[in-house]
């Protein structure tokens, strides 16, 4: 039976794009809407209104905002709740938040769907123990995204949490790559209940930013127009404070070794710590500052290389949506070869991988020198491997299964 009404549940979804991984779903919803009559989204997020309604591609979309118990929405001006500054995934705080939100989510879901029955529910985030309860309440097919493996310590406890979350009768798990799929199977998730669907971005049909445009954007942002720009962004997925400090030290060493470039460490405002303000150098070769969503878009357009080493060897990257977005506009990536990077980094073509400081510095130099030849291959790889329209087709096929 072809579904007409889809329910989505997740953290921090809003209609407009922001600095988070929900940008994928912001792009995906209009594509899904082409084949549906209604999409209802329950978003755990502090918002100005309790509900938004709009129509897109002939589909009615309803967003119901449920205030979190204690974790703060990044863009909120309220200061009474906690917001974690050390990385994008405060897993233990997130687990507690989801447990505390169980009653609220179940009540809202039952109340709304009683009057407006839907045929499928997809969880945009792993809701932990709530997965099991939603499947029990829904009595319809339910799927859940499994974005990335965080490799938290102690690993046996983290694996147990994933097993309890995903090994649920009637629940189909959607990892973003085959590497995470294998990990899920190894911890006890039924392979028949797993369906890999990569996330992605819209196909880039435009030329990458010209050198002249890059120069103009850099002037506007107060960045030297005479040096290539190397961009770091945080915090995204498993990239946290430890990874930032490591990248910062490599930047200093690379510059001391003669690399002629500017490093820009761009922080989401909610993740920036005041003590980081003193890390920018006086001659503007290293810039560490919080940036708005608009400024970050400009930084993406004018950078030559994206630098984002990850130190935790146990993680499995999705890879991060920011990496895909940069690849899609012709920016090569230099990072460490943690699991999942092989889905996006083709050595010497879309970026460079190394575990050593010398290797990463060499990769930065090569990426800058070979950028003109690499940018076209980066765009082609993103269009082929991480196309959001392909993702939409596969999700619809899964939802209608």
pTM of the model: 0.91
Q: Mean pLDDT across the stretch 27-49? A: 94
For 153-186, the pLDDT digits (tens) are: 889 999 999 999 999 999 999 999 999 999 999 9
**Considering the domain boundaries, does residue 205 fall inside one?**
no
In a domain, 219, yes or no: yes
Q: State whether 381 and 234 are in the same domain.
A: yes
Sequence-distant (6+) residues with CB within 8 A of 357 are 250, 253
* Domain CATH number, residue 310: 3.40.50.2000
Verify that 75 and 196 share a domain, yes or no.
Answer: yes
Give the residue among 232, 317, 223 at the shortest CA–CA distance from 268: 232
Residues 380, 392 share a domain: no
pLDDT score, position 134: 92
Please indicate, yes or no, whether residues 161 and 33 belong to a single structural domain of this protein: yes
- For residue 29, is it within any domain? yes
Categorize the per-residue pLDDT at 23 as very low, low, confident or very high, splitting at 50, 70 and 90: very high
CA distances to 48, 163, 226 from 363, rounded to whole Å, are 45, 38, 21
Q: pLDDT digit string (tens) for 134-160?
A: 999 988 999 999 999 988 888 999 999
Kindly report, residue by residue over 297-315, the tens digit of the pLDDT: 999 999 999 999 999 999 9
244 and 344 housed in the same domain: yes
Same structural domain, 237 and 283: yes
Of 89-98, 147-156, 195-204, least confident by mean pLDDT is 89-98
- Residue 313 has what pLDDT? 94
Judge whether 74 lies within some domain. yes
Give start and end residues of each alpha helix (H) in 34-186: 91-100, 102-115, 129-138, 155-166, 178-186
Segment 9-14 shows an average pLDDT of 91
Q: Are residues 144 and 259 in the same domain?
A: no
- What span, in angstroms and rounded, lies between the C-alpha atoms of 9 and 39? 11
Mean pLDDT of 21-39: 96
| 83: pLDDT strictly greater than 60 | no
| Residues 323, 381 contacting (CB under 8 angstroms) | no
Looking at the structure, do residues 376 and 394 belong to the same domain, yes or no?
no
- How many separate domains does the chain show? 2
Residue 360 lies in a domain: yes
Same domain, 239 and 195: no
Instruction: Please report which confidence band the pLDDT of residue 206 belongs to, taking 50, 70 and 90 as the band edges.
Output: confident
Task: Give me the mean pLDDT over the 209-213 stretch.
Answer: 85
Query: How high does pLDDT run on average in the chain?
Result: 90
Does some domain include residue 206? no
Specify the pLDDT at position 321: 93
Does the structure show a pLDDT above 70 at 345?
yes
Strands 51-56 and 59-66: antiparallel
The verdict on 195 and 216 lying in the same domain is no
H/E stretch holding 264 reads strand 262-267
pLDDT at 133 over 50: yes
Q: 160 and 272 share a domain?
A: no
186 with 229, same domain? no
Domain that holds residue 303: 211-385
pLDDT, mean of residues 269-281: 87
Stretch among 29-33, 142-146, 232-236, 302-306 having the lowest mean pLDDT: 232-236
Binning pLDDT at 50, 70 and 90, where does residue 96 land? confident
For residue 376, tell me if it sits in a domain.
yes
Mean pLDDT of 382-398: 96
| Assigned domain for 105 exists | yes
């Amino acid at each position: 039976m072809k579904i007409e009404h889809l329910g989505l549940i997740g953290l921090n979804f809003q209609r407009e794009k922001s600095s988070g991984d929900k940008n994928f779903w912001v792009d995906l919803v209009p594509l899904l809407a082409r084949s549906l009559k209604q999409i209802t989204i329950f978003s755990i997020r502090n918002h100005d209104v309790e509900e938004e309604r709009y129509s897109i591609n002939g589909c009615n979309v309803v967003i119901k905002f449920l205030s979190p118990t204690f974790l703060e929405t990044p863009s909120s001006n309220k200061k009474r709740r906690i917001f974690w500054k050390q990385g994008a995934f405060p897993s233990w705080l997130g687990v507690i938040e989801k447990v505390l939100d169980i009653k609220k989510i179940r009540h809202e879901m039952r109340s709304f769907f009683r009057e407006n029955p839907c045929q499928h529910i997809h969880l945009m985030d792993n809701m932990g123990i709530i997965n099991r309860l939603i499947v029990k309440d829904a009595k319809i097919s339910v799927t859940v995204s499994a974005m990335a493996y965080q490799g938290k310590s102690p690993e046996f406890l983290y694996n147990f949490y994933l097993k309890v979350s995903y090994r649920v009768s009637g629940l189909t798990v959607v990892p973003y790559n085959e590497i995470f799929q294998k990990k899920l199977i190894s911890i006890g998730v039924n392979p028949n209940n797993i369906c890999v669907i990569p996330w992605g971005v819209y196909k880039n049909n435009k030329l990458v930013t010209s050198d002249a445009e890059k120069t103009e954007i850099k002037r506007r942002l107060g960045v030297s127009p005479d040096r290539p720009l190397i961009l770091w962004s945080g915090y995204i997925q498993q990239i946290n404070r430890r990874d930032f400090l490591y990248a910062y030290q490599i930047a200093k060493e690379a510059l001391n070794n003669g690399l002629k470039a500017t490093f820009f460490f761009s922080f989401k405002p909610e993740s920036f710590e005041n003590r980081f303000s003193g890390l920018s150098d006086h001659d503007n070769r290293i810039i560490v500052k919080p940036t708005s969503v608009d400024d970050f878009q400009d930084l993406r357009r004018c950078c030559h290389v994206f630098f984002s080493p990850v130190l935790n060897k146990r993680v499995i990257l999705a890879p991060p949506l920011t990496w895909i977005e940069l690849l899609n506009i012709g920016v090569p990536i230099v990072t460490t070869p943690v699991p999942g990077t092989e889905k996006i980094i083709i050595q010497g073509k879309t970026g460079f991988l190394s575990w050593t400081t010398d290797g990463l510095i060499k990769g930065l130099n090569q990426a800058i020198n070979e950028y003109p030849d690499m940018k076209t291959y980066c765009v082609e790889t993103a269009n082929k491997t991480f196309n959001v329209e392909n993702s939409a087709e596969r999700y619809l096929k899964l939802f209608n299964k």
